[in-house]
Structure 1
Amino acid sequence: MPTVLIADDEVDHRELLTFALHRLGYDVVTAADSSGALARLAGGGVDAALIDVRMPGGSGIELCRQIRSAPETELLPIMVISADVHRHQVMTALHAGADDFLAKPFSRAQLTTRLEALLRTRPSAAARSAAAARAALLATRHAIVEEAPAVPYRHTA
């Protein structure tokens, strides 16, 4: 079964989500803050992330941005889970890279259905390879531009 990262500073929330996902057959890894979540993701093997908005040391919104900016995790399915369901908060999470936003409290059926949908639509290995190739190409182009000597432009008529 897929492995899901749960990033939430509340122990009770992590335990409840872990219990629910284990009962459904998912493997779970947890983190209490953004840095812990990034460390778990760096280890590889995570298929989706459930991220709380409010965490110490960096919000879940900032964590989404960091996940999306790293070539290794830019395609990871992300669901933000929060009790703060103001339209602005939802839009901020989606603009930061979240694929879905689930409002607390939620039912196990809602969680399951939406997580399964995220995992079904996750990019294939080929898409991940293509994304990694694009990132490498952009990095190479940037390096070439930085190292190229400046050549003055001469207009010839």
Structure 2
Amino acid sequence: MTTVLVADDDRDIRELVAFKLQAAGFTVLTAADGDDALAQVLQHRPDLAVLDVMMPGRSGRQVLQEVRGHEEVGATRVILLTAKAQESDVESGFSLGADDYVVKPFSPRELLSRVQAVLARSTS
């Protein structure tokens, strides 16, 4: 079964995304801050992580950088989720190695489609 980590400091968003992914058949892990998100990636090695950019502790960008620098989990797929929609923010996210970038507010259905698309690209 495919495992997805959802890391967001907003409990409502975290629970909404987790619910949508679970309903689609994914195993879901959750984290409320960047430090926990990194620990979960290292411990559980999810197939994909959805990371809020602005979280307490490590930011989603910092977690992404650390994941990409880790030999064992460096290939983990990452979608950044953020309210930062400036072109420079999007470029920065992709330059750090994000597989996709979703801007808040977002449609849970669209996020599910993006998760599925990123995972499909990683298996082909």
Q: Retained in 2: the 8 A contact 1:31–1:37?
A: yes
**Residue range with higher mean Cα deviation, 36-45 or 77-86:** 36-45
Q: For residues 43-79 of structure 1, give each alpha carbon's deviation from its aligned partner in whole angstroms, at most 9, with x where no partner exists.
A: 2341100000101112111111001000111111100
**Equivalent pair of 2:45/2:73 in contact (CA under 8 Å):** no
Return 85-94 or 115-124, whichever deviates more.
115-124
For 1:93 and 1:38, the matched residues in 2 are separated by 17
SS in 2 for 1:122: helix
Matches within 5 A, 1:63-74: 63-74=63-74
User: CA RMSD for the aligned pairs?
Assistant: 1.4
1:13 deviation in Å?
A: 1.0
Structure 1 stretch 79-88 or stretch 38-47: which is displaced more?
Answer: 38-47
Please say which of residues 54-63 and 115-124 is displaced more in the overlay: 115-124
Q: Which amino acid aligns with 1:103?
A: V
Aligned to 1:4, what secondary structure does the other structure show?
strand
5+ long unaligned stretches in structure 1: 125-157
Higher relative contact order (Cα pairs below 8 Å, separated by 6+ residues): 2
CA offset digits 1:90-118 (Å, max 9, x no partner): 11111111110011122233112111111
State the partner residue of 1:43: 43
User: 1:34 Cα deviation (Å)?
Assistant: 1.4
Structure 2: tracts of 5 or more residues without a match = none
Mapped partners of 2:112, 2:6: distance in 1: 14
Q: Tell me the TM-score normalized by structure 2.
A: 0.93
Could you give the per-residue CA deviations for residues 30-52 of structure 1, whole angstroms, max 9, x where no partner exists? Answer: 11111101111122341100000
Pick the structure with more strand per residue.
Answer: 2
Asked whether the equivalents of residues 22 and 28 of structure 2 are also in contact (C-alpha less than 8 Å), the reply is: yes
Give, in whole Å, the separation in 2 of the partners of 1:59 and 1:43. 19
User: Matched residues, percent identical?
Assistant: 39
